[in-house]
Amino acid sequence: MTQAAPQGVSVVLGSQWGDEGKGKLVDILAADADVCARCAGGNNAGHTIVVTNDKGEKVKYAFNLLPSGLINPKVTAFIGSGVVVHVPSLFNELDTLERKGLKVADRLLVSDRAHLVLGFHQIVDGLKEIELGGSSIGTTKKGIGPAYSSKASRSGLRVHHLYDPTFPEKFRKLVEGRFKRYGHFEFDTEGEIEQMLALAERLRPHVVDGPTWMHQQLSSGKRVLVEGANALMLDIDYGTYPFVTSSATTIGGVCTGLGIPPFAIKRAIGVVKAYTTRVGGGPFPTEQLNSVGETLQEVGAEYGTVTARRRRCGWLDLVVCRYSTWINGYTSLNLTKLDVLDGFKEIKIATGYKLDGKLIEGFPADLDRLGQVEVIYETLPGWDSDITGCRTWDDLPENAQKYVKFIEEYLGVKIQYIGVGPARESTITVF
């Protein structure tokens, strides 16, 4: 049985480069939550949930801006102040979920302080990538970086600005600034202003004073579940900069993104994929550009949820997970996609990086130095059976148990959940 959720805040965070399977865990934990919140990022995030319905059919849900906890009909969704919101995409996602029979509209709230992603941010995202050429980031082109740039340069527009008579004027000024920087690009400024003002009316009943609402939830003993977006190695400060997203994806981003004090956080569950994937550009020390990488990609169905790009694949990197554990302080872990390793004769795990012949303690900040590391691997024996039907620790083959124990001991954090398939029920709850 899953442990009862404590009052206060429970957080689910990605410990690698994203797509660890955070959505699946959030969906499971939402059974025991009153609120499910997003605190950072935007609709660049993609979470796939597989639920078996009453007829035994598998139903797939994809979440981008909305939190995955919404499948539980008792949960209220909250889009926090640290999130960047593209309002047309928000409503597209809401409408798609409602068409699938999931009633969402009456339990969705958005902070008045969340910044807006506007159409020109998305165009500029593409233009910036073209400008970078061979060293492009490989963004999702959802306008996330440009929207956070507007925010940091103090010219961004927030949700509350939609209800301010100066919104059109401010919007035009922002577009003019982009024309000056990138030259004239095709963009229907007046058409977009009109669309935003129309959507503002639809959004109005969902808008709340973000920090006040969060404070009310916490002071009335509500159980708040936070769905981390992206992951530690994509964090603007601690990730492989500049190959990162533009938000704070760490535990720190949960406090700033929701407007809550750190002591409100009762647990932080780190999600660790049993191997490593990355989508987009940037360094990836354990990447396997060979048949191992291809097998992981195919068996793990590693395609971007938002962009359908093939995800790059490699062995589990415990140097990354250790670094991520230091920063986020996980109280327990969810090891996911262990089933994807079924059938490998041997499995490698990175346990150290050597630079200039010496083992280093942390994770290099300088990407040139990172490019020079020699990755030290431990080789563990694989298992030759299908573990997708395992439901308890004892069901797992001995070598799979050894693999899990190795990770747990290296990181010094208990593995609470083990994923053995995409569906909700394909989960071993260890404690």
Q: From the list 11, 16, 19, 349, which residue makes contact with ligand 2SA (rule: CB under 6 A)?
A: 19
350-386 in b/e form (b: 16+ CB < 10 A) is bbbbeeeeeeeeebbeeeeebeebebeeeebebbeee
Q: Check residue 210 for interaction with ligand GDP (CB under 6 A).
A: no
Is 325 annotated to bind ligand?
no
CB of 211 to ligand 2SA, least distance (A): 25
Which of these segments, 41-49, 70-78, 244-252, 280-288, binds ligand GDP (CB under 6 A)?
Answer: 41-49
Cα distances (angstroms) measured from residue 307 to each of 59, 73, 342: 21, 28, 27
Q: From the list 9, 15, 23, 285, which residue makes contact with ligand GDP (rule: CB under 6 A)?
A: 23
Is 294 annotated to bind ligand?
no
Residues of span 127-186 touching ligand GDP by CB under 6 A: none
Q: From the list 21, 80, 282, 314, which residue makes contact with ligand GDP (rule: CB under 6 A)?
A: 21
Q: Check residue 286 for interaction with ligand GDP (CB under 6 A).
A: no
Q: From the list 8, 88, 126, 138, which residue makes contact with ligand 2SA (rule: CB under 6 A)?
A: 138
How far apart (Å, rounded) are the C-alpha atoms in residues 378 and 194? Answer: 59
How far apart (Å, rounded) are the C-alpha atoms in residues 143 and 404? Answer: 38
SS3 label, residue 213: helix
Q: Check residue 142 for interaction with ligand 2SA (CB under 6 A).
A: yes
- Residue 209 a catalytic site member: no
Name all contacts of 390-399 with Cβ < 8 Å and 24+ positions apart.
Answer: 390/420, 390/428, 391/425, 391/428, 392/428, 393/418, 393/428, 393/430, 395/428, 396/428
Q: Are 293 and 314 in contact (CB under 8 A)?
A: yes
- Residue 160 a catalytic site member: no
- Closest to Mg ion by CB, 36 vs 400, is 36
Nearest to 367 by CA among 244, 256, 268: 244
What's the distance, CA 308 to chain centroid? 16
318 is written with which tokens?
A: 């415990």
Is 337 annotated to bind ligand?
yes
How far apart (Å, rounded) are the C-alpha atoms in residues 119 and 220? Answer: 38
Of the residues 115, 121, 142, 151, only one is catalytic, namely 151
Name which of ligand GDP, ligand 2SA, Mg ion, none residue 422 binds, using a CB cut-off of 5 to 8 Å depending on partner kind. ligand GDP
- Total residues in contact with ligand 2SA, by rule CB under 6 A: 24
Of the residues 19, 27, 112, 317, only one is catalytic, namely 19
- Residue 164 a catalytic site member: no
Site for ligand 2SA, rule CB under 6 A: 18-19, 44-46, 137-140, 142, 144-145, 230, 234, 243, 245-246, 279-280, 304-307, 309
Binding site feature residues for IMP: 19-22, 44-47, 140, 154, 230, 245, 309
Site for ligand GDP, rule CB under 6 A: 14, 18-24, 46-48, 50, 305, 336-337, 339-340, 419-422
